[in-house]
Structure 1
Amino acid sequence: MLLRNVDKSKGLCNGTRLIVERLADNNIEARIITGHCFGQLTYIPRMIVEPTDKNIAIKFRRRQFPDNVCFAMTINKSQGQSLSNVGLYIRKPVFTHGQHYVAVSRVTSKKGLKVLILDEDGNVSHTTRNVVYKEVLQSIK
């Protein structure tokens, strides 16, 4: 999964999923498996990365690939994607408002959805709570 925008016109955006075809010293040959460029072969170069944290006294740069091996993703990272299979793992029986909808609505069919919810003791549960923070709703007119 790409972790930054590389080239939007070629479908290489933050969150794009790819299958690595070949690794080289300075680039990755990969096939795009999401978005409007699905199936296209692309090359991802090493990029210069500089920390943006102002508290770091020493300025340094490094070259690295803008990707990460991905076996799972957060609910936020999955927004806007359509997936044939979704496994939803809920460690605590609480969702903030809207997360449940985003997570469940990513899957294209009911058959492709698996949900595991654990209670506070780590036991399998069949329910969860959708929490709405009243402070957020008070500011809506």
Structure 2
Amino acid sequence: MMQRVILCPKNDFVDDINSNLIKRISGEERIYISDDRAKNAFDQGDYVDYLNSLEPRGLPQHKLVLKINCPVILLRNINHVEGLCNGTRLICKQLTPNVVGVVIATGQFKGKHVWIPRIPLEPHPADCKYLIPFIRRQFPLLYAYLYVALSRAKTEANIRVLIIKATCNDPGTKYTSNVVYDEVLVKASLP
């Protein structure tokens, strides 16, 4: 299972699928709310709700829902000597208010128990669309069911492409239909 990949074109689709999958894990969930602050203290009072609504790439969500045995990915290099590097797959084992106890799921440090703290995170500088520079203090974790930007499958047999048909209810919205024919995808998946 750790070698299979589903390629998904949009973060919105990934978030929807991940939230549905996390609901299927039995056990009590723990909700972690981030502390979002504008870099300029004068902007803080006016934009708190706006900052909480932002979901820039490379940052965890404002509302992070975790459960025991939930697979997650580390979003930052914390300690490479301990195996805590960006992209490391982890399994949640303990959920406390200030730290998350995880076990490393892959690689040289597989099976090692470590603690992940909340850390201050900033959006990538390439995300210029956010007019208010801000810092999000949250656990640097993202669900490991589906995620965008990394494809770790080593063979074509382990890759699947997720195509979700667009719905367009707004007459002013323009979109392009999928131009990949189903026959092409079927032939690509045959051995």
Q: TM-score range by the shorter chain?
A: 0.5 to 0.7
2:188 maps to 127
Which structure has more relative contact order (CA 8 Å, sep 6+)? It is 2
Deviations 1:5-31 (A, max 9, x none): 111111011111111001112211000
Name structure 2 gaps, 5 residues minimum.
Answer: 1-72, 164-179
Secondary structure in structure 2 of the residue aligned to 1:18:
strand
Preserved contact between residue 21 and residue 29 of structure 1 (Cα < 8 Å): yes
Deviations 1:31-53 (A, max 9, x none): 01111111110000111012234
Structure 2 letter corresponding to 1:64: Q
1:33 maps to 105
Preserved contact between residue 31 and residue 42 of structure 1 (Cα < 8 Å): yes
The counterpart of 1:68, out of the listed 114, 139, 142, is 142
Query: Are 1:89 and 2:89 counterparts?
Result: no
Q: Which runs of 4+ in 1 moved over 4 A?
A: none
Percent identity between the two aligned chains: 34
Question: TM (normalized to structure 1)?
Answer: 0.56
Structure 1 letter corresponding to 2:161: I
Cα distance, 1:90 vs structure 2: 2.9
Name structure 1 gaps, 5 residues minimum.
Answer: 93-118, 129-141
1:98 maps to none
| CA-based RMSD | 3.0
Query: CA separation in 1, counterparts of 2:111 and 2:151?
Result: 21
Query: CA separation in 2, counterparts of 1:75 and 1:90?
Result: 14
Mark the CA change 1:74 to 1:49 in structure 2 (over 3 Å): closer, same or farther: closer
